[in-house]
Amino acid sequence: MSDSGALWDEATNAINARSREFESRFLARDAQGLVAAYFVEDSDGPTASPPGGVAPVRGHAALIEMFTAQFALIRAVHLETLRVEVCAELAFELGRARLSLTSEQQAWGRYCVLWRKARGEWRAKIDFFAQDGWP
């Protein structure tokens, strides 16, 4: 296998594991653990764009607050990776999200994540989410 193939495999396996942990911690209502396990730890701070057309948030404290607020509307999240592009210490993921709302309805969205490899781990640096016609 080529070096680029090995890098792609390593990155996509790590991204898949981070996504499953994101889903698990969201379901457990563990905003602090979700942010700690999913996002980068750099001083510049990770950024995420929440559903609902609100402004992006930046930094761990703001992300914890954002996810805590989402728990009132969203019961569970399922992430489906559609494509990953990898280059050295950066990766870009495009995917779909299915959300189980607390109202027992389903909602869908799409997301893009800029992943950065730091200290041997792939973590989300920028997480952009857009909702698709929620009820």
Whole-number Å distance between alpha carbons of 91 and 133: 28
Burial class (CB in 10 A: 0-12, 13-18, 19+), 105: exposed
Per-residue pLDDT tens digits for 115-134: 999 889 999 999 999 988 76
Whole-number Å distance between alpha carbons of 96 and 29: 21
Q: Hey, which CATH number is domain 3-132, 3.40.640.10, 3.90.380.10, 1.20.1050.10, 3.10.450.50? A: 3.10.450.50
Per-residue pLDDT tens digits for 43-79: 788 999 988 778 999 999 999 999 999 999 999 999 9
Per-residue pLDDT tens digits for 3-57: 678 989 999 999 999 999 999 999 999 999 999 999 999 778 899 998 877 899 9
Q: Would you list the domain boundaries of the chain? A: 3-132
